[in-house]
Structure 1
Amino acid sequence: MLSSTSNIKRALRAELRERRRTRTSTERQSDTTAFTANLVSLVGSTGAKRVACYLSGQNEPNTRPFLNWALANDVEVLLPISREDGLLDWAHGDGETETEGPHGMPEVVGEPLGPIAINDVDLVIIPAAAIDRGGMRMGWGRGYFDKTLGSMQKCPPVYAVIYDDELLDSVPREVHDQPVNGVVTPSRILTF
């Protein structure tokens, strides 16, 4: 039986998923340019040389232009691969080769480096459904990033990539949910 918090999350996720689905191609293009500029700025301001990021799905903020920039500018990027045990493995990508993961999300094709490879990055960039003004993250419900962040020995700054209207006053929270240090939206970089 689902808790009331789980039900609230499920309803909010459905609303956010629909908002993303109905964004126009013009909005997406403009937002992608802005996301890329802000992600590049975040890497510059943190001095990150090794970054963990994700491959964006169809309706997610597009990370590919940023990943291409990182590849061209000698920023090492680790990309996640979903494992059956609920953890994330990490691999380097070539910027082009992808496959579909177990939940329909794009994943890098590369030699798995193991779940602890993320412990050596300078910056973590993750997806989210919404973030509240205190930095609490609501993901899409599979728990991969919560488990990863919760198990890290020393966690570098973690930033979620969301649209401006996904920064909310509050999000429903469960025990396993992990906060982030900031968000990157098309209009700004916000550090909590």
Structure 2
Amino acid sequence: MNDDLPNRKRALRAELRERRRIRTATERDTATADLTEHLSELTTRLGARSIAAYLPASDEPNIRPYLNWANGEGIRVLLPVSRDDGLLDWVVDDGESETEGPYGMPEAVGDVLGPIAINDVDLIIVPAASVDRSGMRMGWGRGYYDRMLGSMEQCPPVYAVVFDNEVVDEVPAEIHDKSVNGAVTPGGITTF
């Protein structure tokens, strides 16, 4: 492994966090409306009746209206709960109950279904710092989603949600990093 790779990832993550932090409220609102439209379109196109997604942090692309849409359509929505061992448990989204997770990120509250509940979904929506044009996803460095995706025998389509300028030519990748099938941005849906 290139010794400089972790430093390049750390620097890129810091740059992306800063870009996200300085977005205006108008930019965020427009992005949220567009993301909701594209995520709903993707879910409908794939005929997904059960999805795994996440509760976005304040600086992440806001997918909460999409989660509300999915719940309103009767689609089963699973949300992750971080475990101390680096795995994710899952709970069914009730649209209301959440708490602050171990890294200050919002997490759903509910009856824990365990890590294997993810095996029953038709579509997985994951957060990302950036995605490259080959589908390689760069997360925020804790490895939860890479471990989850790496453990699945049969994986449904996986789409990362990022802002348009976060789909780049190449992201620094290590052997444990997992790729995604596509990206959903305010500008549209890209399948790799």
SS in 1 for 2:80: strand
Q: What's the counterpart of residue 62 of structure 1?
A: 62
Q: What's the counterpart of residue 18 of structure 1?
A: 18
TM-score by length of 1: 0.98
Q: What's the counterpart of residue 50 of structure 1?
A: 50
Structure 2 Cα separation of the partners of residues 85 and 134 of structure 1: 30
Q: What's the counterpart of residue 183 of structure 1?
A: 183
Matched to 1:59, the amino acid is D
Deviation at 1:94, TM superposition (A): 1.1
SS in 2 for 1:41: helix
Q: What's the counterpart of residue 105 of structure 2?
A: 105
Deviation at 1:66, TM superposition (A): 0.5
Structure 1 Cα separation of the partners of residues 53 and 94 of structure 2: 14
TM-score by length of 2: 0.98
Structure 2 Cα separation of the partners of residues 174 and 6 of structure 1: 9
Structure 1 Cα separation of the partners of residues 93 and 77 of structure 2: 8
1:173 aligns with 2:173: yes
1:24-173 correspondence runs (5 A): 24-173=24-173
Deviation at 1:97, TM superposition (A): 1.1
Structure 2 Cα separation of the partners of residues 3 and 126 of structure 1: 27
Matched to 2:152, the amino acid is M
Deviation at 1:3, TM superposition (A): 2.8
Output one character per residue of 1:99-146: Cα deviation in whole Å (capped at 9) or x when no partner. Answer: 000111000001110001001100000000000000000000000000
Deviation at 1:84, TM superposition (A): 0.2
Q: How many residues align?
A: 191
Deviation at 1:20, TM superposition (A): 0.1
Structure 2 Cα separation of the partners of residues 119 and 167 of structure 1: 27
Structure 2 Cα separation of the partners of residues 83 and 112 of structure 1: 11
Deviation at 1:27, TM superposition (A): 0.2
Structure 2 Cα separation of the partners of residues 63 and 133 of structure 1: 22
Runs of 4+ in 1 over 4 A off after TM superposition: none
Matched to 2:169, the amino acid is D
Matched to 2:185, the amino acid is T
Matched to 1:79, the amino acid is L
Deviation at 1:71, TM superposition (A): 0.8
Identity %: 62
Aligned-residue Cα RMSD (Å) equals: 0.8
SS in 2 for 1:20: helix
